[in-house]
């Protein structure tokens, strides 16, 4: 079993914090536009508000997926399979784990 190059718990905490921050920003945008009478189709500012909501929604979803991946990596660490490629069974190089702590595959399998 490979030891994580960085603490997966630290990555998990940072990612969870990022999710919370993005949700706060999203909620603030929704709250600020709730009182406004924005017509996204005809109001140039409305289109911007709609775009910001859509963009933040996408960012929240991506951060939640990253958090799920980190949680799964922590589970692999607990089971003793962290750092082992799920496709070929070989050790994942430390450089890859440093770059992508939650990765499930070695570079060769990821690009195959």
DSSP 3-state percent helix, strand, coil across the chain (nearest 5): 65, 0, 30
At residue 36, the pLDDT reads: 62
Structure tokens at 82: 């962290």
At residue 29, the pLDDT reads: 81
Domain boundaries, the chain: 8-80
Mean pLDDT of the chain: 86
Assess whether pLDDT exceeds 70 at residue 9: yes
From residue 99, give the alpha-carbon distance in Å to each of 13, 26, 36, 92.
17, 28, 43, 11
Question: Model confidence over 35-77: pLDDT tens digits?
Answer: 665 555 555 555 677 788 889 999 999 999 999 999 999 999 9
pTM of the model as a whole = 0.75
């Amino acid at each position: 079993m490979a030891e994580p190059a960085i603490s997966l718990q630290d990555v998990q905490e940072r990612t969870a914090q990022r999710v919370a921050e993005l949700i706060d920003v999203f909620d603030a945008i929704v709250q600020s536009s709730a009182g406004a009478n924005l017509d996204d189709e005809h109001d140039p500012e409305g289109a911007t508000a709609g775009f910001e909501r859509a963009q933040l929604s996408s960012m929240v979803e991506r951060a939640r997926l990253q958090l799920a991946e980190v949680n799964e990596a922590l589970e692999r660490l607990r089971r003793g399979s962290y750092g082992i490629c799920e496709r070929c069974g070989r050790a994942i190089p430390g450089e890859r784990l440093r770059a992508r702590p939650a990765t499930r595959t070695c570079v060769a399998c990821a690009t195959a």
